[in-house]
């Protein structure tokens, strides 16, 4: 058992850190928290700047096969992810880089790969994921939006929702019913399409803090070239399952929390209440220390998941356990951080806000991690059914 | 990075698991709880033959020369099987000898520990029950070629069966509580020592040890006069990780037992493990165990590499203390009524979770150490 890195990896990590640190210095004040990139213009411009920089360096494709521009290993990708998370730098499209690219590499035709992978690698395009519907959340297979084959096109109709960044994205991938009368799990199609295609309407859904992250997307006779399919018609469910396996180590979110705790420690050291720094309060010390322990537990489990993936030995239950633990830790952290700041814990980004409003922002954003990418309750089902061998729900 | 056990560790683990299943059934565990001795000399001898007490003692002192990480692999198995007796207190008491002993002391004690001839323990806590140096009042005063020890130590594991006690004494009222602490290797059968077993939750034979004018030769001073505290800090750090490894094994056993029971026990016409309320609880227990696992493995690796490890050791102990109690408490809940019976194995684990939590520092102590290490002033 060895938690160490090679000299080469240590050098690589320093390179990642140096660049991310420089980029962090350019971050606009409006960029508060993970998801605000989508919300306002300065943040979005910054996000694209980071994406271009990473694309230029080949860091968006570290673990890709060399023929498609890969220039490193799975562990390099983990190290890059750590640096990015720690310095709070955007620019890696969770949908395009995190989910779609590995899916295309595993399942798409050569034509589709050649057409779509290079712009993703360069950081030139942003993707969104047309997944949930008003009546199909965790039970995704019950979706009703359709994409019906007509000649060499698919015609899409219906409504998708909770679409992160649909108002920013250039392209979308989504899953639709291709055979409304077909048997379950063999009636879906996975398609790629330009968000500027006529018939697509994007309407904002305000987040709890009013920011614009999520959207409803209405599709009204949207024509998509049939060549933009991934996998087979009516067999899109296989692609859905494949894609769900790629979004697992969470190390960037964990490193972001580790950094936030460091900043909170500093805040407690310099902020006085009742005649002494907050850091002298035994209750605050105890709670911060507990969080530090939990963060280290999450970090080491993320290494476990990464180590398994690095050896092509994906463990569903480890990845699900990590997702549940780290995301709930995020919720607890948000509660702790806003408690510690007293009345300032409720202050939005403004001159009164401690730590640039990040504490208040976390109080909202923590839900992103517990609810999205398979709710924690679904993850617990996965652990129980596929990991512990308990009987499936009937 | 490679987070799998190496071949030596896999062999060690399998051997230990198989050995303990045969040699240490739960009937023996209960019998030893009720016994005065608290351990089986017969089993102790067999363990010595496997080289367990000398696992990390270097080969030049007749040990096996394994790494600290290897030791935690073994302890995960002894914890899984809740092995009673003086294995952990003997091994952790060799840490200060390995770290601070003179060549003569190493030659005198370590080979006999490795052979199973000597049982060791460490007398640290006193009436206040604190793990910090401020709690040390037992005095050692020089007298000719000896020191004279007076006072009372508490919660000294297996002292009634020990051959030697590493006694943490105050030799000076220094500028700070840490200044003026001296360690002695004391013959447990020396005149003036009396010992009484305290009834504790896991019947693990924690003793009150009274020292009345106990003479200990100067040559048995471990480390330097007045400068013994850092040796104890290091011992607590390694001991905390060792205890975590045991607890991890205990959690693994409790989780496995609970899942198996839930597949077997039928209510409302189906196994209770089919109910989602219980499934999510069991997923939670598995997650709690798994988050503990890599935290412990990381600390063991850092310690094994000889790198500074105080922060990670405290993080692991603080986290695992709560985790083991949580996992075993819910394991009993998931078993229902039968889980509360002393006759059911799961209850044995619940008791040991509390004992493990206290050993080498409880959660609040280690959280405070973590608070210092993460930079809270």
Structure tokens given for A116: 């779509």
pLDDT value at residue A311: 86
pLDDT value at residue A33: 76
Cβ distance of B291 and A307 shorter than 8 Å: no
Residues spanned by the domain of A37: 7-92
pLDDT value at residue A245: 74
pLDDT value at residue B284: 98
How far does A190 lie from chain B, in Å, by closest CA?
31
pLDDT value at residue A243: 87
pLDDT value at residue A394: 66
Please check the confidence at residue A248 and state whether its pLDDT lies above 90.
no
Residues of A with Cβ-Cβ distance to B273 under 8 angstroms: 390-391
- The answer to whether residue B274 neighbours chain A at the CB level (below 8 Å) is yes
**In terms of domains, do A136 and A192 share one?**
yes
Closest to B131 measured CA to CA, from B372, B371, B357, B375: B357
Cβ atoms of A306 and A318 within 8 Å: the answer is no
**In terms of domains, do A284 and A375 share one?**
yes
**In terms of domains, do A145 and A85 share one?**
no
In A, residues 300-339, which contact B (CB 8 Å cutoff)? 300-301, 303-304, 306-307, 310, 317-318, 321, 324-325
In what helix (H) or strand (E) does residue B87 lie, and over which residues does it extend?
helix B87-100
Please check the confidence at residue A393 and state whether its pLDDT lies above 80.
no
**In terms of domains, do A218 and A285 share one?**
no
The verdict on residue A113 lying in a domain is: no
How far does B282 lie from chain A, in Å, by closest CA?
7
Average pLDDT of A296-309? 94
Residues of B with Cβ-Cβ distance to A270 under 8 angstroms: none
Cβ distance of A307 and B274 shorter than 8 Å: no
**In terms of domains, do A217 and A265 share one?**
no
Average pLDDT of A295-306? 95
Q: How far apart are CA B276 and CA A329, in angstroms?
A: 23
Count of CB atoms situated within 10 Å of the CB of A227: 12
- The answer to whether residue A356 neighbours chain B at the CB level (below 8 Å) is no
Number of A/B CB contacts below 8 angstroms equals 159
DSSP B200-229: -TT---EEEEEEEEEEEEGGGEESSTTB-H
The verdict on residue A102 lying in a domain is: no
The verdict on residue A287 lying in a domain is: yes
pLDDT value at residue A247: 54
**In terms of domains, do A132 and A239 share one?**
yes
Give chain B's domains with CATH numbers: 7-118 (1.10.540.10), 121-227 (2.40.110.10), 230-373 (1.20.140.10)
Residues whose CB falls within 8 Å of the CB of residue B113, separated by 6 or more in sequence, listed in order: B53, B54, B57, B90, B94, B120
Cβ distance of A300 and B294 shorter than 8 Å: yes
The verdict on residue A224 lying in a domain is: yes
**In terms of domains, do A265 and A289 share one?**
yes
- The answer to whether residue B12 neighbours chain A at the CB level (below 8 Å) is no
The verdict on residue A118 lying in a domain is: no
Total structural domains within chain A = 3
CATH number of A231's domain = 2.40.110.10
pLDDT value at residue A294: 98
The verdict on residue A35 lying in a domain is: yes
Cβ atoms of B33 and A35 within 8 Å: the answer is no
Average pLDDT of A150-168? 97
Tens of pLDDT along chain B (377 residues) come to: 999 999 999 999 999 999 999 999 999 999 999 999 999 999 999 999 999 999 999 999 999 999 999 999 999 999 999 999 999 999 999 999 999 999 999 999 999 999 999 999 999 999 999 999 999 999 999 999 999 999 999 999 999 999 999 999 999 999 999 999 999 999 999 999 999 999 999 999 999 999 999 999 999 999 999 999 999 999 999 999 999 999 999 999 999 999 999 999 999 999 999 999 999 999 999 999 999 999 999 999 999 999 999 999 999 999 999 999 999 999 999 999 999 999 999 999 999 999 999 999 999 999 999 999 999 99
**In terms of domains, do A141 and A44 share one?**
no
pLDDT value at residue B286: 98
**In terms of domains, do A232 and A267 share one?**
no
Average pLDDT of A214-224? 98
- The answer to whether residue A289 neighbours chain B at the CB level (below 8 Å) is yes
**In terms of domains, do A139 and A154 share one?**
yes
The beta-carbon neighbor of A307 closest among B2, B69, B319 is B2
In B, residues 276-305, which contact A (CB 8 Å cutoff)? 276, 279-280, 282-284, 286-287, 290-295, 297-298, 300-302, 305
- The answer to whether residue B367 neighbours chain A at the CB level (below 8 Å) is yes
**In terms of domains, do A231 and A325 share one?**
no
**In terms of domains, do A300 and A362 share one?**
yes
The verdict on residue A266 lying in a domain is: yes
The verdict on residue A332 lying in a domain is: yes
Show which of A192, A216, A244 is a domain's final residue: A244
Instruction: Please write the tens of the pLDDT for every residue from A68-80.
Output: 989 888 899 999 9
């Amino acid at each position: 058992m060895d938690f160490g890195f090679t000299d080469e990896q240590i050098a690589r990590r320093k390179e990642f850190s140096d660049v991310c640190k420089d980029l962090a210095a350019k971050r606009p004040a409006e960029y508060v928290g993970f998801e605000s990139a989508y919300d306002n213009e300065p943040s979005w411009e910054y996000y694209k700047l980071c994406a271009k920089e990473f694309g230029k360096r080949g860091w968006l494709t570290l673990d890709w096969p060399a023929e498609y521009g890969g220039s490193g290993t799975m562990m390099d990708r983990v190290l890059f992810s750590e640096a990015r998370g720690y310095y709070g730098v955007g620019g890696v499209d969770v949908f395009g880089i995190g989910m779609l690219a590995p899916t295309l590499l595993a399942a798409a035709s050569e034509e589709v790969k050649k057409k779509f992978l290079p712009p993703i690698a360069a950081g030139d395009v942003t993707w969104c994921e047309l997944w949930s519907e008003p009546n199909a959340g965790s039970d995704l297979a019950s979706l009703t939006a359709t994409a019906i084959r007509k000649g060499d096109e698919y015609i899409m109709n219906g409504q998708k929702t909770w679409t992160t960044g649909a108002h920013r994205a250039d392209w979308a991938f989504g899953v639709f019913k291709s055979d409304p009368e077909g048997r379950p799990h063999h009636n879906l199609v996975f398609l790629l399409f330009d968000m500027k295609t006529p018939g697509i309407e994007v309407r904002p859904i305000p987040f709890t803090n009013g920011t614009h992250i999520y959207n409803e997307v209405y599709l009204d006779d949207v024509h998509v070239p049939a060549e933009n399919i991934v996998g087979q018609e009516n067999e899109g469910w296989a692609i859905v399952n494949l894609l769900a396996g790629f979004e697992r180590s969470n190390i960037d979110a964990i490193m972001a929390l580790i950094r936030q705790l460091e900043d909170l420690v500093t805040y407690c050291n310099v902020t006085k209440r009742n005649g002494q720094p907050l850091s002298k309060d035994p209750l605050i010390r105890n709670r911060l220390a507990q969080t530090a322990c939990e963060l280290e537990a999450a970090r080491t489990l993320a290494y476990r998941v990464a180590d398994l993936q690095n050896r092509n030995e994906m463990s569903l239950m480890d990845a699900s356990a990590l997702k549940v633990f780290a995301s709930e830790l995020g919720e607890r952290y948000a509660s702790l951080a806003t408690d510690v700041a007293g009345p300032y814990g409720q202050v939005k980004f403004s001159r009164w806000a401690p730590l640039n409003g990040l504490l208040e922002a976390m109080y909202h954003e923590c839900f992103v991690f517990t609810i999205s990418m398979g709710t924690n309750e679904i993850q617990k089902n996965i652990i129980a059914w596929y990991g512990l061998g308990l009987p499936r729900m009937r | 990075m490679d987070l799998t056990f190496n071949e030596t560790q896999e062999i060690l683990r399998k051997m230990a698991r198989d050995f303990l299943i045969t040699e240490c059934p739960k009937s023996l565990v209960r019998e030893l709880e009720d016994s005065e001795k608290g351990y089986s000399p017969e089993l102790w001898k067999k363990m010595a033959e496997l080289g367990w007490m000398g696992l990390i003692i270097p080969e030049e002192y007749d040990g096996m020369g394994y790494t600290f990480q290897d030791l935690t692999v073994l302890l995960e198995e002894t914890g899984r099987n809740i092995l009673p007796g003086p294995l952990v207190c003997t091994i952790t008491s060799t840490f200060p000898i390995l770290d601070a002993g003179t060549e003569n002391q190493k030659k005198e004690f370590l080979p006999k520990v490795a052979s199973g001839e000597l049982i060791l323990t460490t007398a640290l806590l006193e009436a206040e029950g604190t793990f910090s140096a401020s709690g040390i009042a037992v005095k050692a005063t020089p007298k000719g070629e000896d020191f004279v020890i007076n006072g009372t130590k508490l919660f000294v594991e297996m002292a009634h069966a020990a051959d030697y006690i590493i006694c943490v004494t105050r030799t000076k009222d220094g500028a700070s509580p840490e200044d003026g602490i001296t360690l002695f290797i004391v013959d447990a059968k020396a005149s003036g020592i009396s010992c009484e077993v305290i009834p504790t939750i896991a019947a693990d034979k924690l003793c009150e040890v009274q020292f009345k004018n106990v003479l200990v030769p100067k040559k048995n001073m471990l480390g330097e006069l007045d400068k013994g505290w850092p040796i104890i800090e290091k011992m607590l750090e390694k001991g905390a990780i060792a205890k975590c490894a045991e607890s991890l094994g205990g959690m693994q056993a409790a989780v496995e037992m609970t899942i198996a029971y839930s597949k077997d026990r039928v209510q409302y016409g189906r196994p209770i493990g089919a109910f989602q309320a219980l499934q999510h609880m069991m997923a939670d227990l598995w997650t709690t165990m798994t988050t503990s696992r890599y935290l412990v493995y990381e600390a063991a690796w850092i310690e094994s590499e000889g790198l500074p490890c105080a922060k990670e050791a405290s993080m692991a102990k603080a986290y695992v203390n709560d985790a083991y109690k949580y996992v075993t408490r819910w394991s009993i809940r998931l078993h229902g009524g039968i889980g509360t019976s002393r006759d059911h194995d799961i209850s044995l684990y619940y008791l040991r979770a509390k004992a493990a939590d206290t050993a080498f520092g409880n959660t609040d102590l280690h959280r405070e150490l973590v608070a210092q290490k993460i930079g809270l002033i």
